[in-house]
Amino acid sequence: MNERDVLLNELAQGLRPMSEGIEWFDGLDSEAQSEVLLFLRHHCVQARAVAEYASESISRSGLRPTHTPAVLLSRGRIDVQLGKIAGLTPVDERRKAFRLLIAVLAVADGRRRERFCSGGCGHWWHHLCAAD
């Protein structure tokens, strides 16, 4: 666990405002932004994101359904589409990708927590609010 991991999980859990996350993300150089987007993609897959979460994730992200990352999320196999979203390169699309991947992680991890961790678990990120 490092500072980035904690921050991203706090954003996904609503423990930090998205405006703070966007400010942090915008302050990263291009290479670091790419790493963050790939990290988020990986964790969305690990949280068992499925295509059925697309609509809720888009809504939660605040993006319009016509924005490129939202369109990508709505089409095809979700693991492939998450990779395409993480690979977007224009600056404004990266910011949208960041917002959407945080939302996908929020939905997927929330569902995973309900299904598999409601009786307790050892996932450090599920205990962030208790650590504050």
The pLDDT tens digits of the residues spanning 100-127 come to: 999 999 999 888 776 766 666 554 454 5
For the entire predicted model, the pTM comes to 0.87
What is the structure's pLDDT at 74? 94
Q: What is the pLDDT of residue 12?
A: 92
Q: So what's the pLDDT on residue 131? A: 41
Q: How many CA atoms lie within 13 A of 112 on its CB side?
A: 19
Angle of CA points 117, 59, 50, to nearest 5°: 45
- Tell me what pLDDT residue 132 has: 40
For the residues of 8-49, what is the DSSP string, one character each? HHHHHTTSS-HHHHHHHHHTS-HHHHHHHHHHHHHHHHHTT-
Residue 66 near residue 93 (C-beta atoms within 8 A): no
Amino acid at 105: L
Task: Note the Cα 129 to chain centre separation in Å.
Answer: 18
Name the residue ranges covered by the structural domains of the chain. 3-121
pLDDT digits (tens, 9 = 90+) for 1-34: 678 888 998 999 888 999 999 999 999 999 999 9
**Residue 37 reports pLDDT greater than 90:** yes
| Type of residue at 109 | D
Residue 90 gets which letter from DSSP?
A: S
Q: What is the pLDDT of residues 51-87, one digit of tens each?
A: 999 999 999 999 999 999 999 999 989 999 999 999 9
* pLDDT of 125: 55
